[in-house]
Chain A
Amino acid sequence: MTDLTQLNLADARDGLAKKQFSAVELTQAHIDRVSASSALNAYVLETPEKALAMAAESDAKIAAGEARPLEGLPIGVKDLFCTKGVRTTACSNILGDFTPPYESTVTQNLWNDGAVMLGKLNNDEFAMGSSNETSRFGPVVNPWKAGDTALVPGGSSGGSSAAVAARLGIAATATDTGGSIRQPAAFTGTVGLKPTYGRCSRWGIVAFASSFDQAGPITHTVRDAAMMLSSMASFDKRDTTSVERDVPNYEAALTGDIKGLRVGIPQEYRVDNMPAEIEKLWQQGIEWLKAAGAEIVDVSLPHTKYALPAYYIIAPAEASSNLARYDGVRYGARQQGTDIDDMYAQTRAAGFGDEVKRRVMIGTYALSAGYYDAYYVKALQVRRLIAEDFTKAYEKCDVLLTPTTPSAAFEIGKNVEDPLEMYLNDVFTVTVNLAGLPGISVPAGLDGDGLPLGLQLIGQAFGEETLLRTAGVLEQAAGFDAQPQDWWSA
C-alpha cells in the first residue's frame, strides 16, 4: 500500500469512497507519523483515541453509503479553536489546562462533515507572532531546512503549516489576523486561505483582534482549501459579525478558466530591498496568469505603507481588551497575590509571554486618556483609506497578485530580539485584514536555498470563488511539487 500520508484531501476522499483504504487506516497512518514528529513540535496535544473513534464512525458512515463531505479525513486543529472536552490554551500559560465545555462553530462544522481530529496544533501565544516562537510550548521547527539551519515555520499558525508540510495531517485549521495563515503557508510550501471577514464564525475561537480575526485552512492544494472552506464557512447567529450568506460549493468554482479575468498588480508592493528572487517570482506569476488568458492591469494602493503602523495600533488595542478576561478568576492558571489587584498582576505577569505583554501594553497605551485620538482614532481613519484603496483598485481589476512575504523562512531566533523586524513579515498580508478581504497564498517556487516561496492573490469581499479559481490556475502553472526531506521522523 502506498504511504497514506502522501495523499492530499481530495485524493484521500476519493480513495475512501473507492474503499481503497479505510478511514481508520488513513487516520492510523497519520497518528503514527505524528507520534514520530516531536522534533517539529507541531502538535501541542495529540488525541489519537478520539481520532480513531471518529474514524471508526466514518467507516460506518461510508459503509452505509452516508459519507459526508469530509468523511474520515484526519486534520489538525490550531490551539486557538475551543474544542469540547479537549484542552485549549491558545499556547499561553495563562490558560493553564483550560478545557472548554463547548466546541467552536468552525470545528463543529468540520466534525459535522465527517472530519477526524488528530489533535491540537502549536501557534504563537494568542496568535501574536510571525514565527511561532512565542508559544508556551516552545517554537515549531519548519520541516524545510536551509542546509543544517533550523528555520521558523512562520506564524502565528506555525503548527498548522508545519503539520501540513510534514504530512502530519491532511489539512489544518488556522486563523489569520495580520497574515497568520498566508505567511506560514508561504514559508512551508503549502496553500493558506484567509476568507473574507465574516465568512467563518469567530464563535469559540480565542480572540486576538476581533475586527481582523478570521479562520481559514492550510492545505496541500487549492482544491483542498476549497473543500475545507466549504465546510468551515457558515452563517452563525452567535457571531453577529458573521455574514448571512449562502456558502457555495467552492470546489465547483475551480474551472481552470480565467480568460478575460483582470489581474491587478499593485505598484506599491514593489518595496525597497525586496529580494530579487521574490521580484522574479512575482513577475513569473504575472506571466503565468497572462498565459492563461488573464488581462494584467497596473493598479495603485497608495496607502499601503501605512497599513502596518495602523494594524499595530488597532490589533493591540483590541487585544488589550480581549485579553482582559484572563484574570485568574474563572479559569486558567492563577498566581497567588497579596490582594486582588496583586493576584491579577502576578497572574498576568506569569501567564503572558513577552510579546503578548508588549502588545497588551501598546494597546492599553493607544486607548488611554490623552492618546486615544492621536493613535487609535487616527489608525481607524487610515484603515478606511486603505479599504478605499482596494475599492478603487477593484474598479479596474477582479483580483490582485502580490508576493506573500518579503522573504523566505528565516532562522529560528533571528528576529526574536527585534519586534519591529518581526512585524515587517506581515507587510504584504496585513492590508487584506484591514480591509476584511479574502487572500490566498499559493506555493510558487523555491529560492536559491531551496526554500519555498509563495504568491498571494487578493480577492474582493466574498469573492472566494474567483479567488480560488485564479489560485487553481496559478497552482497548476507553478506545478509546485517539492517536499521537505524527512529529517525529523524518530
Chain B
Amino acid sequence: MSVDENMVRRIANLARIGVTDGELPALAKELSAIIGFVEQLSELDTDGVKPLTSAVEDRIRGREDIVTDGGYAEDVLANAPEKDDEYFAVPKVVE
C-alpha cells in the first residue's frame, strides 16, 4: 500500500505537523517506502496470536489515595512560552 499526498496531508493534520504542499511529494515517497517495508509482516500468519504490548510480566502496582504532590505552580509554569499570572496562555480557542 502506498501513501498518497492526500493521506500525507491527513496524517500531518492529525499529528499537527505543518506541511507545505511542496513537501508532500517527497513525504509521500518516503512514507510509502517505509510502509512498503513494514508490510512484510503480512506474509506471517498470526491468527490467534495474542498481541504483546509489554515485556513486563508483573501485575500493575498502584498508589494510595494520599495527596503527595502539587503546590508548586511556579515550577509548573517556569518553562511556559507564554503565561498570564498563574495561567498558561495560548492563542484563543473558539469552541
Contact = CB atoms under 8 A, between A and B. Distances in A.
A and B touch in the complex (CB under 8 A): yes
A50 interface: no
A217 B34 CA distance: 31
Contact of B54 (A101, A241, A357, A375): A241
A360 B54 contact: no
Interface string B1-41: 00100011001111111110000000100110111011111
A377 to B, nearest CB: 6
A340 B92 contact: yes
Contact of B55 (A197, A333, A423): A197
B23 to A, nearest CB: 9
B51 A365 contact: no
Interface stretch (A15-23, A265-273, A380-388, A472-480): A380-388
A378 B40 CA distance: 11
B91 A357 contact: no
Contacts of A197: 55-56
Contacts of B12: 345, 361
Given A331-B80, A361-B27, A303 B44 contact: yes
B55 A349 contact: no
B56 A98 contact: no
B16 A348 contact: yes
Contacts of A309: 37-41
B61 A435 contact: no
B91 to A, nearest CB: 5
A378 to B, nearest CB: 5
B79 A345 contact: no
A378 B46 contact: yes
A99 B19 CA distance: 29
A243 B60 CA distance: 10
Given A331-B79, A339-B91, A313 B38 contact: yes
A374 to B, nearest CB: 8
Contacts of B46: 378, 381-382, 385
Interface in B50-79: 50-56, 58, 60-61, 63, 72, 75-76, 78-79
B41 A343 contact: no
A104 interface: no
Given A243-B58, A382-B41, A384-B51, A419 B15 contact: no
B30 A358 contact: yes
A235 to B, nearest CB: 10
Interface string A319-361: 0100010011111111011111111111011101000011011
Interface of B: 3, 7-8, 11-19, 27, 30-31, 33-35, 37-42, 44, 46, 49-56, 58, 60-61, 63, 72, 75-76, 78-82, 88, 90-94
Given A336-B91, A340-B93, 8 more contacts: A313-B38, A324-B15, A329-B90, A330-B79, A340-B92, A344-B16, A360-B17, A436-B55
5 contacts: A96-B81, A211-B54, A333-B81, A350-B18, A368-B14
